[in-house]
Amino acid sequence: MQRLPWPLPALLAWGGAWAAFTVLQQLGWSGMAALLLATAGGAVCSLWGATWWRRGLIGAGFPLSLALSGTVALPAWAWLLPLALLLLVYPLNAWRDAPLFPTPARALQGLAEVVPLPEGALVLDAGCGLGHGLQALRLAYPQARLQGLEWSWPLRALCALRCPWARVRRGDIWRADWAPYAMVYLFQRPESMARAWDKARAQQQPGSWLVSLEFEVPGVRATGRLQAPDGRPVWLYRVPPPA
């Protein structure tokens, strides 16, 4: 859906939410229940957005248009529920991190040949979203113990369903301890990489790895570099001994 020209994803999501809302009311659902379920559908569809503002428009479009239309008479406080639902999917303190861009399925192919890990090594996908990065890591390291960390409750739950072979937890990647991991994988944003490298050097064991899809650590020479099938770089950083 992210490949569709904008605003087609938004129009499809809004139309689907309105259709669900109308059908639910015809089936005898209350206006409040239909509102919440249709808004939940829009929140899920907002994952199609390629940027934060597009995801916000997709997720908030239906409840806003319903409020302006005056189709359903609801108490004023009821309109806080769709907002709470959207904040549940996109918590405020996660806005500073990367948007939800999925890791391509074979983006990490060849990684195990360059960075071999022992059987049972702990590998973390920091900010695992819906689990695309975990799936790519599993292809590269089928014998590793994979873990995912995600702040959003709904995304964490969906990721756990999609990746039952991994341990997926809810948490802040910047407050979590990276010490146990032989490798930490990130698909963040350029502004986050210096902070991630500082955390890796402070917490990870010497000889462990920080792996980043697309974005490099500014001012730090990478230990290695791979190229994903779509042409994006995969940057490899080996944690040095303490200075």
Ordered structural domains, the chain, with CATH: 8-90 (no CATH), 111-238 (3.40.50.150)
**What is residue 95's predicted lDDT score, i.e. its pLDDT?**
47
How does pLDDT run along the chain (243 residues), one tens digit per residue?
A: 556 777 778 788 888 888 988 898 888 888 778 888 888 888 777 777 666 667 777 777 787 777 767 666 666 556 566 666 655 555 544 544 445 578 888 999 999 999 999 999 999 999 998 899 999 999 999 999 999 999 888 788 889 999 999 999 999 999 999 999 999 999 988 888 999 999 999 999 999 999 999 999 999 999 999 999 989 999 999 999 987
DSSP 83-122: HHHHHHHS-GGGTTS----PPPTTTTTTHHHHS---TT-E
Q: Rounded to 5 degrees, what are φ and ψ at 238?
A: -95, 130
The answer for residues whose C-beta is within 8 angstroms of residue 170's C-beta and 6 or more apart is: 149, 150, 151, 152, 153, 156
Instruction: Round to whole Å and give the CA distance between 169 and 160.
Output: 8
Sign of the alpha-carbon torsion through 159, 169, 99, 145: negative
